[in-house]
Amino acid sequence: MSFDPRSTPVDRRAEQELEARGLRYRQVDPSDQAAFDAWSQADARGFHHPRPREVDLVHERRVFADRLVRGVYDPASATPAIPIATVSSWPTGLSVPGGRSLDAWAVSSVTVAPTHRRRGIARSLMQAELRDAASAGAAIAMLTATEATIYGRYGYAPATRMATVRVDRRRAHWIGADAPGRVHLVDPASLRELAPQLVRRAVSRTPGEIDRWPALLDRVLGLVDPESERSRSIRAVRYDDERGETQGFATYRVVRDPDRPGVLESDFIAAATDDAERAIWRVFCEIDFVDEVRVQLRSVDEPLPWLLEDARAVRFDDVGDHLWLRVLDPVAALSGRRFGGAGTLRLEVDDPLGFAGGAFELDASTDGRAEVRRVEGADAPGSVPVGGSRRSRQPHGLRLGVRELGSMLLGGVRATTLARAGRVVEHSRGSLALADRLFSSDREPALTIWF
């Protein structure tokens, strides 16, 4: 999707719903400094962040300059210029199995003030976002959820998991293969020019990753407020392969009490090759005067335990869901990924909101490419096709909800697991086994940022 999301008109249905409650739903222009700064105050308040400083507001204006920013206002509130609810969104790419990118609609900044709960405000906002995403041609909508019980009612479901990887540095003895290149300690600012292209390559390797925006890299590299204590504590390593080409980098900082070993903390590793990933982990595990390595937002399938003599030196803590997907166009969503082999599978999808419901036939070839089409009438699951090239027996098929389809899309959960939970129904014997094979992914899906 290549267009300016700010050209999307305010959803009329949501506008009318909120107006009936005495509220105003309107678009916020990030170039309108006063209006956007008030919106940013509400966004920070909703996530219990400190009131933003001017340097933070300058950064936020850059982040949201190309996004669709909306607010809900209460003219009767004590501060009518500050919205009582916020949301932002933008079109972006989502990495899917096979190294391809799917057109997606990212939703963020969803807040409702505690003074305005239980009034249907979030429902109006979230359903408007789905209509905006569908109108823009997005195959899916997606978000990262701070609350796990809110978004299922709109058809979202968890599709990736995350973990905090903790390493007992004192027990970490490296036995993994040496990377053929070299790791350099570098000034974080020196990475700014090469980071976007390198991150794009790194993102394409793992299903569930999304496109990074420039202002995110500025934060990671400590360039938003360079003189702050946190920015000055950021260190960076860069991995160059045996040809001298950069294949990865990471940022970290060490926090510690005076005269005591510290904790190495990192929340950003960008590795375009396995060699780069191993080399960065080795540096982290071998830094002196550190008792623990703590890396956030990592895959639950991290290979690190297999690189150390004592695998128990590694713990995976805070394991939980992270990226949530909402399928809007099953044909586009399924056609966009590669599958784990050949086979034909029909999916009968239930969607109470009406975006993705229907019956669909997925016909995958041996190279994992699939043709997907909507089927109706005599072609629907449970019928018996007749004549020509169609089978004369009932094909393999499943009945499932749009939430289950979203969870399966990247390969993060098996159809058999969902069936054991009573959330997927098998039309004919062997359908679940076929679905498990088709929807498998070579890499565990993961998202290594918040948005």
Contact 440/338 with Cβ under 8 angstroms? no
Evaluate whether 74 touches 80 at the Cβ level (below 8 Å).
yes
Say if residue 273 carries a ligand binding annotation.
Answer: no
224 is annotated as contributing to ligand binding: no
314 is in an annotated binding site: no
Query: Alpha helices, DSSP H only, in 30-169?
Result: 33-46, 54-63, 121-136
Active site residue 451: yes
Among 64, 73, 151, 252, the active-site one is: 151
Q: Is 121 annotated as a binding residue?
A: yes
Give the sheet arrangement for strand 370-375, strand by strand.
370-375, 358-364, 343-350, 397-401, 424-426
Tallying the residues shown for the chain, one arrives at 451
Is 111 annotated as a binding-site member? yes
Under 8 Å CB-to-CB from 307, ≥6 apart: which residues?
Answer: 174, 175, 176, 278, 281, 282
- Report which of 296, 215, 195, 297 is spatially closest to residue 253, judged by C-alpha positions: 296
Q: Is 96 annotated as a binding residue?
A: no
Is 112 annotated as belonging to a binding site? yes
187: its two tokens = 């000034």
119 is in an annotated binding site: yes
How many C-beta neighbours within 10 Å does residue 422 have?
7
Q: How far is the C-alpha of 134 from the C-alpha of 103, rounded, in Å?
A: 11
92: annotated binding-site residue?
A: no
Q: Consult the annotation and say whether 118 binds a ligand.
A: yes
Q: Does 110 belong to an annotated binding site?
A: yes
| Rounded-to-integer distance, Cα 340 and Cα 338, Å | 7
| Residue ranges of the binding site | 110-112, 118-123, 146-147
| Residue ranges of the binding site for acetyl-CoA | 110-112, 118-123, 146-147
Residues known to be catalytic: 151, 451
